[in-house]
Each structure stands twice: as C-alpha cells, then as structure tokens.
A = this chain, B = another copy of it.
C-alpha cells in the first residue's frame, strides 16, 4: 500500500497535505486482508444459521422419528442445504470480485458493507420463498436482493477500474484493460439481468422464474462440466487465452484464494462448534423457583435432567473440533486451492453444519428406542460424509499435486501416509460405528459413546499407529527386503530435490 504514495508531498503544509491526499487518493489505499476476513466471518455465520430452525424443531416422544425426519427433510433440511449453497455461491462471487480488486479504500469498504448487509438478508428471503412457494413476494424480494448485490458489485468493479492502483497487479499491467473490464462486467451483470427476467416472469408464470433462478446458479458449473467432459472425451484441444486474466472463467482449476477458504471454513467450524452451547446457556439454567419447589433446592438433581444435553455438547464440540483439526492439517499442506476443491469443501461444511442437530437428536429420545437408534445412525452418516468430502479434497489435490501440494506430502512423500490416515480416520470410524449399530442394535448408544470418547485419543496416537501400520505392512509384503532400506530410493529421490527448492 505504501509503494503507491508519490514523494511529491514534501514541504507542503498539514492542511494542504490533507487536501492533496484527497486528490490523489493514494494515502487512503489499504490492504483488503481484514475486510475479507470480516466478510468471510459474516458469510460463514449466515450460511450455517439456517440449521437453527431445524435444530429447534421439537419432536414429540410418542411420534416416530422417521415421520419427523421426513417432514424435516422435505422442508427445513432442504431450506438449510439450499441456503448454504446459495450463500456459498454469493461467497464465491465475492472471492472472484476481490481477486480482481486487491486493494481497497474507504469507499470500497463501505460499498462492501452494503453488499454484506444484503447477503445476510438472503437466507430470510429464501426461507420466505420456501414457505410460500406460490406467492410472488418471496421471489420478488430474493430477486431484488440479488439485483442490488449485482449492481453494487458492478459499481465496485467500475470504481476499481477508474482507480487502477486498486486492481490486481496482473490486470494493472495488462494491455487490454478495457477488454478485461467489459468481460468482468458482463459476467457480473448476467446474474442481475437473469433475476430481472425471473421477477418479471414471477408475476405471469411463477414456475418459469424458479427455472430461471436454477439456471442462474447452476449454469456456469454445468456448462464447464460439459466442456471439461467433452475436452476429456475428444482429447486435448484446451482453449487457452494467455493474455486474459485467470478470473471469472468458472474453470474447475480456477484459483481460489486459499486464505479465504480457510477463514470461511474456520467461521463455519467455530459457529457450529458453539451452536449447542448457545442453546444450553439459554435454556438449561433452571428457574430458582422451580428448583425450590420441585427439587427441594437440590440443584444437582435439577441439572441431571439436562445431563444428555451436556454430553451432546461435548460430543459435538469434540467432533467438530477434530474435523477442523483434519481440515487444518490438510490446508497446511495445500499450496493453492482450486474451485473444485472449494466445491468439495462446501459440501463437507454443509454436512458439518448438520452435526449439532444430529448429536442433539441422539440424546433426545428414550434409551433403547427405535428413534434413538436411527438418530445414532444419522449422526454416523453425517460424520461419514463430512469426512469423505475432506478426503475428496485431498484426492482432487493429488490429481494436480505438482501445483497444489507441498512436495513432502505428494504421493510417496514423507507425510503422505500420515495425512491419509488423518483424513480417513473419521470416515472409517463412522462407517464402523454404523455397521456395528446395525448388527448390535441393542448397544448402539454405548458404541456411539465409545466412539465419541475414543476418537480424540486415536488422533493423539495417530502418528504412532501409522508407524506401526507401516512396519506391519512392510513386514507382511516385503519380509525379504527388511534390511534393504535403500530400494525405494529412486522414487523418493525424484521428490526430494523439490523440497530443497521450495524450502
């Protein structure tokens, strides 16, 4: 930010210098780091918040869970997942925008805040749409929000291009800046224009507007998917535009700011880990008068009623915390995030968001009931998928490992086996627990609790376990080469020089 300031302000008066800094605008240029961190925090909170209406649905004990779950699945869970998707689409657009605009000033900061205000309002308009699908008001409000967000983004781009020192260095150096500007504006304005059509159609024929909205969200991905499949099937012939910027392409390998993926994920993990304590703090402090009357002033007896909820809290905090830990370990080894990895990350986070709900369900039903068994199984399924999509990120990264991974975790690298063990621990444990609860359905809760307690310790001794497993593997498959350690050196040697270059 400093390098932009010209030295011509020397020997001007204080008042003059304030005025001149207003004219050239350089001194107010700022790094956008903290603005983006704050935006990520806001968006991650909003994305996960729609799990609350689902979590606060009260189940009657005599009712079978299956029916409640079906009622949930049809409306609230669908709303939660769709909101999560829409908010992350808005977040992806925000990342694209601020990969183009790398420095900010006060005007951009204020415009961004206005944009954030409308993004945080999206979940509400969306839940209106879901509750009243045949009413035009929901869709009109939603479209209005999206259109204003698009206009603000266009305004930010125009402002950025009229103050070129705010732009990404690559674009700043680019010779066809005007072309870049037009292309970016076209991509950005596509969404508000489609929404304008959708809102016009909503008055005439509401189904059409829903189709338009679906197209708005999914079309770039579908078209890219088709293009990618076609290029793979026909072979080669990748259209490369070396002079244009790598943003706004919707290509699966389009770079995604790794820092922002991390801070968005941190926000989701943090709010999900604390969701249950919010409820506990609000609801689980008994009324003094009740304790006096019903429990004869015995606070411990009164609190024992809430026992399972504390267990649910610690269980969900530990699981979310450890999933964060795995994510953290994974991203330590990632050097560059791509859009496809971002997509898997979003899926993983969407499942993580459902975890507190699942844990709460586990402890809400009477012991040994059919409901409880199903709640335990749902928890296992959620943990399984949350972990599986983390693994998918790792596999995606391995496909382009030369670009996306640190050398020492690449296939055959030093930390490869350990990372794999970390990533596969939760999916394996969840799958195992699921199978056990199917077989030994009477002990399902005990098995689940054992898993909750056991997994953190498994992580603590994981390094040891991996070492033992590797020794066992070596002993099983190549017992003859037990003293011939130098055999796989060729494979290793091709990797190691790169480490030295990087470090």
Footprint of B on A, CB under 8 Å?
Answer: 2-3, 5, 7, 9-19, 21-22, 27-28, 30-31, 34-35, 37-38, 41-42, 45-46, 49-50, 52-53, 56, 106-107, 109-110, 113-114, 116-117, 120-121, 123-124, 127-128, 131-132, 135, 137-138, 262-263, 266-267, 269-271, 273-274, 277-278, 280-282, 284-286, 288, 291, 297, 299-300, 303, 313-314, 317-318, 321-322, 324-325, 328-329, 331-332, 408, 412-418, 456, 459-460, 462-464, 466-467, 470-471, 474, 485-489, 491-493, 496, 499-500, 502-503
B470→A37 contact, CB < 8 A: no
The listed residue (B35, B299, B460, B488) touching A137 by CB distance below 8 A is B299
A211→B471 CA distance, assembly (Å): 57
Instruction: Report B-chain residues with C-beta under 8 Å of the C-beta of A489.
Output: 11-13
List 10 other contacts, CB 8 Å, given A16-B485, A37-B266. A2-B502, A17-B492, A22-B464, A27-B415, A45-B270, A49-B281, A106-B325, A120-B274, A123-B277, A128-B285
A467→B18 contact, CB < 8 A: yes
Q: Can you report 5 A-B residue pairs in the complex whose CB atoms are below 8 A from each other? A: A11-B496, A14-B416, A109-B325, A117-B317, A117-B321
Most buried by B among A3, A34, A281: A281
A485→B281 contact, CB < 8 A: no
A485→B46 contact, CB < 8 A: no
Instruction: Report B-chain residues with C-beta under 8 Å of the C-beta of A324.
Output: 38, 113
The listed residue (B17, B106, B314, B412) touching A329 by CB distance below 8 A is B106
**Distance to closest chain B CB from A360 (angstroms):** 16
**Distance to closest chain B CB from A305 (angstroms):** 14
The verdict on A110 contacting B15 (CB below 8 Å), with A27-B415, A328-B34 known, is: no
Query: How many copies of this chain are found per oligomer?
Result: 2
A267→B267 CA distance, assembly (Å): 9
B274→A470 contact, CB < 8 A: no
Instruction: Report B-chain residues with C-beta under 8 Å of the C-beta of A271.
Output: 41, 45, 271
The listed residue (B113, B300, B499) touching A325 by CB distance below 8 A is B113
The listed residue (B269, B278, B417) touching A38 by CB distance below 8 A is B269
A-side interface mostly: helix
A281→B38 contact, CB < 8 A: no
A132→B288 contact, CB < 8 A: yes
A328→B109 contact, CB < 8 A: yes
A38→B486 CA distance, assembly (Å): 42
The verdict on A460 contacting B282 (CB below 8 Å), with A117-B318, A274-B49 known, is: no
Instruction: Report B-chain residues with C-beta under 8 Å of the C-beta of A408.
Output: 27
**Distance to closest chain B CB from A110 (angstroms):** 6
The verdict on A127 contacting B281 (CB below 8 Å), with A109-B328, A486-B11 known, is: yes
Instruction: Report B-chain residues with C-beta under 8 Å of the C-beta of A418.
Output: 18
The residue of chain B having its C-beta at the shortest distance from the C-beta of A484 within the complex is B13
A123→B280 CA distance, assembly (Å): 10
A417→B488 CA distance, assembly (Å): 67
Most buried by B among A31, A412, A414: A414
Instruction: Report B-chain residues with C-beta under 8 Å of the C-beta of A297.
Output: 135
The listed residue (B35, B123, B321, B331) touching A113 by CB distance below 8 A is B321
A110→B456 contact, CB < 8 A: yes
B131→A49 contact, CB < 8 A: no
